[in-house]
Chain A
Amino acid sequence: NAGVTQTPKFQVLKTGQSMTLQCAQDMNHNSMYWYRQDPGMGLRLIYYSASEGTTDKGEVPNGYNVSRLNKREFSLRLESAAPSQTSVYFCASSETTGSLSGNTIYFGEGSWLTVV
């Protein structure tokens, strides 16, 4: 069972370089998310897509762009990487963002990004 798959697992970038983190889910979920995790900070929401064709900013969107390519795929792009973007990035998905019914999120295994 693949669930949420994100690539690459590890990446080292030089300041100013660009890259795209890829994410795909095979659970037919409507909603997808990108979080970053820094030591002692928990997870912070970068962007999310409540449904195919929509994207919204989260808590820390600056320096990032996203594309909901189709229902399965949601990519995160760093246009000009900065050392402050060194972090672990998690893609996640859920059936919906409907809050009243509860909304379990399924996470990928993470992408470790270092910007030097």
Chain B
Amino acid sequence: GNSVTQMEGPVTLSEEAFLTINCTYTATGYPSLFWYVQYPGEGLQLLLKATKADDKGSNKGFEATYRKETTSFHLEKGSVQVSDSAVYFCALSDTGVQGAQKLVFGQGTRLTINP
């Protein structure tokens, strides 16, 4: 079945450092890809998405490009801030019964940014 593998954490960086969180997927067909972020005590929030190969999703300085040839969707940010500290989840959409858009998640990567 479809699956997502993402970089294990935790990841600790200094403020203004460059961030990469790796994500690769296994899927039949052409799923949409997502990055979600979870701040402490809150639910998951959609950070960015890409719906087809070579699409680039971007939001709040974060970017990820849908790479079909390497089945990857790595998350990057050029200069992280303390407020970016959170858990990041890579996910793909998997169409189920009657069009149900089930999300398949990676295990999450905890990111801590030190001042």
Do A and B originate from a single complex? no
Binding site for A on B (CB under 8 A): none
